[in-house]
C-alpha cells in the first residue's frame, strides 16, 4: 500500500510552536499605568512612616548623648570640689569679649574623648538633627546653662534673690530677703540650641538635668509651623 505524504501546511502548526517556545506578551499601556499608580500609592504611604522612624531615631541618639554629657558634667564636678563648669552660652559671641569663658565642649573634652586637634567638639556634642551648624560654629549642638556657672552641684541652682522692706503700722521697719533655689531634678545642664526635634503642636528641646535624667523641656507658647 502506497502512502501519499500530505504537503506541509504551516497553518496546521500551533502558534506557540512557530518560534520554538511560548510567545511572550508585552504589558499594555493601561497595565503599566495601573502598576505605576500602585507603586506611587505605596510610596506615599510608606515615606511618611519612614521619615517619622528616622526622626525618632535621631531623637533617641540625641537623648542618649545628652545623658553621656550629664554624666561627664558630674565627673567634672567630682574632680573640682563639686563645682560645676563655667562656660559661654554662645562661644562665637562671648558675654565679655575681653575675658571669654571656655566652650563647654572644651571643658568636658577630657571626660567624653575628642578625636584629633580640631575646632569642633567630640562627636557626642553633635546632635544628628543639627542642620544649623551649631556644632561646627560653637563646638556643640547643646547649649550650656550659664545660670549654674561655677555653682556647687550639691546646693542646687539659685534662680534669683528677693528683698523687700517696709514700715509697720506702729512705725517699726521690717525687711525680708531670700533666694529661690531649684532641686537637681529640675535644673537643666545642657539642652538643644535650637528646635532640632519638632513635636507638633507643642515643641520642646531635649534636655539633660542635674540628676542625670534627660527629657523634653517644653517650649510653651511657641507655635510650630
Cis before 103? omega within 30: no
Query: Looking at residue 161, what is its pLDDT?
Result: 44
Q: Which of 188, 215, 190 is nearest to 204 (CA)?
A: 215
Over residues 146-196, the pLDDT tens digits come to 999 999 887 655 544 444 444 444 454 444 444 445 566 688 999 999 989
Helix (H, G, I), strand (E, B), or coil: what is residue 66?
A: helix
Query: How many beta carbons lie within 10 A of that of residue 51, not counting itself?
Result: 10
Rounded distance, CA 85 to CA 77, Å?
7
* CB-CB contact of 151 with 197 (8 Å): no
The DSSP line for 81-109 is TTBPP---SSTTS-SSTTSPPPPHHHHSH
In angstroms, the first-to-last Cα distance of the chain is 98
Over residues 15-56, the pLDDT tens digits come to 555 555 555 566 787 777 777 877 877 766 666 656 677 888
Amino acid at each position: 500500500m502506497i502512502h501519499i505524504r500530505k504537503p506541509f501546511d504551516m497553518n496546521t502548526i500551533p502558534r506557540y510552536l512557530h518560534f520554538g517556545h511560548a510567545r511572550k506578551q508585552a504589558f499594555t499601556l493601561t497595565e503599566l499605568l495601573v502598576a505605576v499608580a500602585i507603586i506611587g500609592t505605596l510610596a506615599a504611604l510608606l515615606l511618611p512612616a519612614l521619615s517619622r522612624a528616622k526622626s525618632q531615631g535621631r531623637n533617641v541618639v540625641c537623648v542618649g548623648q545628652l545623658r553621656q554629657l550629664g554624666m561627664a558634667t558630674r565627673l567634672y564636678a567630682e574632680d573640682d570640689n563639686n563645682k560645676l563648669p563655667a562656660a559661654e552660652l554662645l562661644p562665637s559671641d562671648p558675654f565679655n569679649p575681653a575675658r571669654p569663658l571656655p566652650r563647654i565642649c572644651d571643658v568636658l573634652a577630657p571626660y567624653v574623648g575628642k578625636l584629633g586637634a580640631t575646632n569642633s567638639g567630640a562627636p557626642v556634642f553633635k546632635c544628628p538633627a543639627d542642620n544649623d551648624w551649631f556644632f561646627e560654629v560653637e563646638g556643640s549642638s547643646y547649649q550650656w546653662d550659664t545660670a549654674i556657672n561655677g555653682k556647687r552641684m550639691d546646693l542646687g541652682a539659685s534662680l534669683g534673690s528677693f528683698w523687700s522692706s517696709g514700715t509697720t503700722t506702729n512705725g517699726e521697719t521690717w525687711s525680708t530677703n531670700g533666694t529661690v533655689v531649684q532641686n537637681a531634678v529640675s535644673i537643666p545642664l545642657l539642652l538643644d540650641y535650637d528646635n532640632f526635634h519638632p513635636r507638633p503642636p507643642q515643641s520642646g528641646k531635649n534636655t539633660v538635668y542635674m540628676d542625670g535624667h534627660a527629657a523634653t523641656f517644653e517650649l510653651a507658647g511657641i507655635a510650630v509651623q
